[in-house]
Amino acid sequence: MEVAGLSLDGCHRLDELRAWHDACRKAPVAFDMTRGLPSDEQIALSHAMLSLPGPAPFDSGDGQDWLNYGGQQGIPQLRALLAPLLLGVPATQAAVGGNSSLALMHAAVGLAWRIGLPGHAPWSDAHEVRFLCPVPGYDRHFAICSDHGIALVPVPMGHDGPDMERVEKHVAQDPRIRGMWCVPRHSNPCGATYSAEVLRRLATMHAAAPDFTLFCDNAYAIHDFAPQALARPGLYDACATAGNPDRVLLFGSTSKMTIPGAGVALLGGSARIMDWWLAAQRACTIGPDKVNQVRHLRFFGNAAGVARHMQQHGHLLQQRFAQVQRVFAQRLRTPCDVHWSRPAGGYFITLWLPTGCARRVVSLASQAGVRLTPAGTTHCGGTDPEDRCLRIAPSRLPVADAARAAEIIAGCVLLACADAASVACDTTATAPDAHP
């Protein structure tokens, strides 16, 4: 898939890499890898939805008229289908509403801020509210906190979840810590899936704040590359078993299952949490779009239909991720201190570079026509103190383009590393950022 003259083959020395990059700049590609967007091929899997639900009648079974106002919790059959798969709770402990789980997260944090979690004072009464944020993490989670003046406390992510030693210490000692972001499966952007032991520790740990709450974004709950049986997400069950059923608020959506932005979003938790949420919704909205819920129900049919559909998604994602893994493995063997995640699902690969190289690589890639998520967005406050971490989002590109984009990113990494090494050896060199 190499463009003539733009191959990295044989480029090792700084001058060779610079020549390669100059050639790339003169014939830039136009690849947008800034966000984890499904590809057109993935979306085509759901084109049948564009003519659904169709004219056939539907009976919600609970007296709700699906074609008129009414009902805050959503169509029971859709809750029964999706709540166990996406949130790990029964249908009664979930609400389907809106098209955006991010909107539900923002609203839930806002509600805790305004009226407090069930039985607790509003966070707005507190002198300071803090959230633990596993880092690298998701910039929109950080933005929700920033919107409410909530201070972010970073904790490092490992291969099987956040560093639980630090999490437990923070949560046990600091009553200002009222919440924590979690993406327990194929986390954004590391791709880590929390181990059962991490879930257990999150559920059982002592919390100094009595209303400490896990904000669990199950965005990639069943978004595996390889076919596998759909497992019920375990965080709610772990909390309930630990006697802390109110400790977790769960979020999910079908945006990366059907049509992005035109999906349905879910919020779940204990019965007490649901009473709290639904009571507050009465003044907030006239109710959810139930037609879109019936559309989803008819499209999926049942859990087996969901599984089949997600396997097709996984296959398409796998093709793209495999190209990036192949190119990185081929091109990035040499530089020390370059490594990357090998996720089994989700939408991102995290690439760790030598200290001080991430922004430089984003800039070099941009010059070659590959737009990456800005360096630093994976970190609280938008700044990666070591400037090491990049989020790579191969999902939307056609397979060949994913390979080409990975080649360009790899070349930019090699160039940035060679540049950095050159600066380190040659005190008369110009600073890397000043290089053309």
Least distance (Å) from its own copies to the CB of residue 315? Answer: 19
Q: Is the dihedral of CA 225, 134, 366, 412 positive or negative?
A: negative
Using CB under 8 A as the binding rule, whether residue 127 contacts its own copies is answered as no
Q: Give SS3 for 275.
A: helix
User: Which span sits near its own copies by CB under 8 A: 226-234, 243-251, 256-264, 308-316?
Assistant: 256-264
List, edge to edge, every strand of the sheet that includes 349-352.
339-340, 349-352, 389-392
Least distance (Å) from its own copies to the CB of residue 116? Answer: 13
User: Which span sits near its own copies by CB under 8 A: 11-19, 41-49, 232-240, 356-364?
Assistant: 41-49
* Residue window 367-406: x/- pattern of binding to its own copies, with contact defined by CB under 8 A: -----------------------------x----------
Using CB under 8 A as the binding rule, whether residue 144 contacts its own copies is answered as yes
CA distance 430 to 436: 10
* Residue window 196-235: x/- pattern of binding to its own copies, with contact defined by CB under 8 A: ----------------------------------------
Of 9, 10, 54, 425, the residue at the interface with its own copies (CB under 8 A) is 54
> Under 8 Å CB-to-CB from 243, ≥6 apart: which residues?
none
CA distance 408 to 344: 23
User: Which span sits near its own copies by CB under 8 A: 144-152, 191-199, 308-316, 399-407?
Assistant: 144-152
Of 102, 164, 222, 238, the residue at the interface with its own copies (CB under 8 A) is 102
> 103 or 172, CB closer to its own copies?
103
The dihedrals phi and psi of 133, each to the nearest 5 degrees, come to -125, 110
- Full DSSP string of 211-235: T-EEEEE-TTTT-BSS--PPPPP-H
DSSP state of 85: I
Show the 3-state SS of 295-346: HHHHHHCCHHHHHHHHHHHHHHHHHHHHHHHHHHHHHCCCCCCCEECCCCEC
CA distance 235 to 199: 6
Least distance (Å) from its own copies to the CB of residue 68? Answer: 5
> 47 or 127, CB closer to its own copies?
47
Beta pairing, strands 130-135 & 94-96: unpaired
Using CB under 8 A as the binding rule, whether residue 67 contacts its own copies is answered as yes
- Residue 294 near residue 53, CB atoms below 8 Å: yes
User: Which span sits near its own copies by CB under 8 A: 138-146, 366-374, 381-389, 397-405?
Assistant: 138-146
Of 14, 18, 23, 35, the residue at the interface with its own copies (CB under 8 A) is 35
* Residue window 274-303: x/- pattern of binding to its own copies, with contact defined by CB under 8 A: ------x-xxxxxxxxxxx-----------
CA distance 404 to 339: 19
DSSP state of 386: T
User: What are the residues binding its own copies (CB under 8 A)?
Assistant: 35, 37-38, 40, 43, 47, 49-55, 67-70, 98-103, 106, 110, 114, 124, 140, 143-144, 146-148, 255, 259-262, 280, 282-292, 396
